[in-house]
Structure 1
Amino acid sequence: MRLLYTAGDGRLSWTDDLVGDQIPPYAILSHTWGKQEVIFDDLKNLNSLEDIGAKSKAGWDKIRFCAQQTKRDGLDYFWVDTCCIDKSNSQELQEAINSIGWTLQELLAPASVAFYSKEGELLGDKQSLKDTIHEITGIPVEALSGSRLSDFSVDDRFSWAEKRQTTREEDRAYSLLGMFGVHLPLIYGEGEENAFYRLRDAVATKENKGRSRSQEERLGKICSWLSAPDPSTNYHKAHKQRQAETRLWLLQNARFAEWKEGAASRLWLYGIPGCGKTILSSTIIEHLLQHCDDDASMVTAYFYFDFNDTQKQDPELMLRSLLCQLLQRSSTIPKGVDALFSSCDNGQRQPSLRALLEVTSQVMRQFTHAYIVLDALDECTQRQELMDVLETVAGWQLDNVHLLMTSRKERDIESSLESYVKKKALSLCRGT
């Protein structure tokens, strides 16, 4: 994280990006965003705090107050969300949103919380105002008085955000990430309902796995580093379009049953455009997620190639997405993954495709069954690279890995899959 401080000459500056034990004590400005907030680029042009008076943005008053109050409280550093995050850096933004203190957790986590008016007048602290805070937010007085978050149920903690208002609807869910110690890829535009669905799923996975807080933080950094697209938006979109009983015949098909239970099994489902392959994939994924739900030794990971999304046309991004899903289900961070992250300067450099394949193979071996569903291979723009990746995965001959793919029946795909799919193909040109 990057902190602000006032240098001896009055100049306002940032620290380097600090991690772990490097982070000193610091103050946080928890505030409601206005229309004239100071952003990262604004501070680049600021020479000293004395220049603030000449600035036009109303948000400068907050920065000046926070700098002065930090000094009065005997601290050297402070953090303001609007201007300590470089939002032009997508990886930094992703990691920051997963780790920053949103207002709700800023209220609960620190030992000392003071409330000030817009004019800088002290109104009280968390203890003196606890009854008022409880009345407004619904947060129990015990939580405000220092009780551990783990002392309260998951449903209780979700209820604390019911009155929360955010500018972007997805932030109602994202603002709870720190409350539960989980990490999610940010998908603005997915809608509040889907954001909460993913959050609850991540919380349930963590509750089942019981990873330590340090492991959760490490995993969050690794997933941010992988910068993988989230295919759940495609899944939920297709799932909403599916009519009841649609394509359920496949789940009772003998070939599907054989694929589901067979060793090192592969199945290719092909059909003409518009025959419902993507909707069928959502049916299969839903079935497999339910199948794995009660058994942590099994996992389902999936990916949708999509002509309408450049992030979902790249074989390497597919692999990164699958790896993130596998890691979220894993009880610990596999040594190979941790070592790869460390060897890349803790996320400062990107791994090779070969290295990603190697660690993905290692992670897959941890499960008794790993179901992989890949939809619309024909919508991948790097077709040959994709075929090479799939051939590598098939070449592992892992008995616990079950690979299912859908696409149009195009000659290059058919010829590439022929060597390891053979007769394990099924036409979808039949009744629903």
Structure 2
Amino acid sequence: MWLLETTTLKPQLFLGDSTPYYAILSHTWGSHDKLQNLAGYVKIIRCCAEAASCGFKYAWVDACCIDKTNSAELSERATECYVYLVDATDPSGFGNNRWFTRGWTLQELLAPCSVIFFDSDWNEIGTKASQAEFICHNYVAQRMSWATRRETAREEDLAYCLLGIFDISMPMVYGEGRKAFRQLQLEIMKESTDQSLFAFSYRLNIGIRPIVCHLLAESPSLFRECGTIQAPGDGPAPEYSTTNKGLRIELPLAHCIGGFYSAFLNLTRKVCNIREL
């Protein structure tokens, strides 16, 4: 992967295990904020200066370093992340910035151990540690809920930007649309017995008549109200598996009107203040 030397701003190529520790700049592009413009160049300079002051010899900035033909590079993780919030001018509005609506920035928030936020004038206004009470990620549904209000340029990226968060590897096949999110859920099922994967809601006014819905969610938006979902106990969840005929799982049932049955997931909600990420 390509990295910038923080004192000379010269790019250097590293392969495999030779890649050193580095800092990353996470930001959103404005309508005219390109590399050749002053604002884009200032971001690179300030990021490298901040990284150098913290002892990093190298930094990664998408405008200079990203190789979109190399899918392996997209899974690399930085040691420290500097988040530049160009629209942060009022500290009381922290968390309502455009950066918090983008899909790929979610991975940049959660993956590095250290995340530092800067306002439009490059003043430090917070850290990942200072927001730790809002970053709970024990359950699948909770992590899915973080992506409910985030946007991506391509529909497939709503799934791909969650790969690192769930520690899942799968091919990135652009053009498959919402099938990518379905495949993500299938891959999660191979690695986890967490029943909260099925706790999403269609929020339909169905009255007393059951509506047949898909077992898997069509998009992360259906997990919007799942930020407080958790299992009631500390013990391991019962195992379930997928077969060529569907899902095999044991759940308690209740008889409903019209000969239908309802199955109950072993989940509950915790009472706490959850902030959307």
Q: Would you say the 8 A contact 1:116–1:122 is kept in 2?
A: yes
Q: Residues 104 and 23 (structure 1 numbering): CA distance in 2 closer, same or farther, change over 3 Å?
A: same
Rounded to whole Å, the distance in 2 between the matches of 1:100 and 1:174 is 15
In the TM superposition, 1:25-64 aligns within 5 A as: 25-36=21-32, 55-56=36-37, 58-64=39-45
Q: Would you say the 8 A contact 1:34–1:59 is kept in 2?
A: no
1:175 Cα deviation from its structure 2 partner: 0.8
Q: Residues 36 and 160 (structure 1 numbering): CA distance in 2 closer, same or farther, change over 3 Å?
A: same
1:18 to 15, 31, 34: 15
1:128 Cα deviation from its structure 2 partner: 2.7
2:127 equivalent to 1:125:
yes
Per-residue CA shift, 1:149-195, capped at 9, x if unaligned? xxx1222221221122223332221111101111222233332x222
Q: Which residue of 2 aligns with 1:172?
A: 158
Query: Which of the pair is proportionally richer in helix?
Result: 1
In the TM superposition, 1:1-16 aligns within 5 A as: 1-6=1-6, 10=8, 12-16=9-13
Q: Which residue of 1 aligns with 2:60?
A: 79
Equivalent pairs counted in the alignment come to: 175
Q: Would you say the 8 A contact 2:111–2:164 is kept in 1?
A: no
Per-residue CA shift, 1:46-81, capped at 9, x if unaligned? xxxxxxxxx436322211111111111121111123
Q: Residues 160 and 184 (structure 1 numbering): CA distance in 2 closer, same or farther, change over 3 Å?
A: same
Per-residue CA shift, 1:126-159, capped at 9, x if unaligned? 233446xx3xxxx43xx5xxxxxxxx12222212
Q: Residues 173 and 99 (structure 1 numbering): CA distance in 2 closer, same or farther, change over 3 Å?
A: farther
Rounded to whole Å, the distance in 2 between the matches of 1:105 and 1:5 is 24
Partner AA of 2:3 in structure 1:
L
2:153 equivalent to 1:199:
no
Partner AA of 2:109 in structure 1:
L
Q: Would you say the 8 A contact 1:4–1:15 is kept in 2?
A: yes
Q: Which residue of 1 aligns with 2:105?
A: 103
* Aligned residues with identical type, % of pairs: 41
Rounded to whole Å, the distance in 1 between the matches of 2:64 and 2:117 is 21
Q: Would you say the 8 A contact 2:26–2:105 is kept in 1?
A: yes
Rounded to whole Å, the distance in 1 between the matches of 2:32 and 2:52 is 25
TM-score relative to the length of structure 1: 0.36
Q: Residues 195 and 104 (structure 1 numbering): CA distance in 2 closer, same or farther, change over 3 Å?
A: same
Rounded to whole Å, the distance in 1 between the matches of 2:161 and 2:74 is 8
Per-residue CA shift, 1:182-229, capped at 9, x if unaligned? 1222233332x2221111112222338xxxxxxxxxxxxxxxxxxxxx
Q: Would you say the 8 A contact 2:6–2:59 is kept in 1?
A: no
1:123 Cα deviation from its structure 2 partner: 0.7
Q: Would you say the 8 A contact 2:6–2:49 is kept in 1?
A: no
Q: Residues 154 and 177 (structure 1 numbering): CA distance in 2 closer, same or farther, change over 3 Å?
A: same
Query: Which of the pair is proportionally richer in strand?
Result: 2
1:37 Cα deviation from its structure 2 partner: 5.4
1:289 Cα deviation from its structure 2 partner: 6.1
Q: Would you say the 8 A contact 2:6–2:56 is kept in 1?
A: no
In the TM superposition, 1:217-366 aligns within 5 A as: 290-291=244-245
Partner AA of 1:290 in structure 2:
N
1:120 Cα deviation from its structure 2 partner: 0.8
TM-score relative to the length of structure 2: 0.54
Q: Would you say the 8 A contact 1:98–1:183 is kept in 2?
A: no
Per-residue CA shift, 1:269-305, capped at 9, x if unaligned? xxxxxxxxxxxxxxxxxxx9624876xxxxxxxxxxx
Rounded to whole Å, the distance in 2 between the matches of 1:56 and 1:188 is 30
Q: Residues 172 and 37 (structure 1 numbering): CA distance in 2 closer, same or farther, change over 3 Å?
A: farther
| Partner SS, residue 126 of structure 2 | strand
Question: Structure 2 stretches of 5 or more lacking a match?
Answer: 79-103, 194-241, 249-277
| Partner SS, residue 15 of structure 1 | strand
2:167 equivalent to 1:181:
yes
Rounded to whole Å, the distance in 1 between the matches of 2:76 and 2:185 is 17
Q: Residues 186 and 67 (structure 1 numbering): CA distance in 2 closer, same or farther, change over 3 Å?
A: same
Question: Structure 1 stretches of 5 or more lacking a match?
Answer: 43-54, 144-151, 209-287, 295-432
Rounded to whole Å, the distance in 1 between the matches of 2:53 and 2:24 is 14
RMSD value, Cα: 2.8
Partner AA of 2:244 in structure 1:
Q
Q: Which residue of 2 aligns with 1:157?
A: 143
Q: Residues 189 and 161 (structure 1 numbering): CA distance in 2 closer, same or farther, change over 3 Å?
A: same
| Partner SS, residue 58 of structure 1 | helix
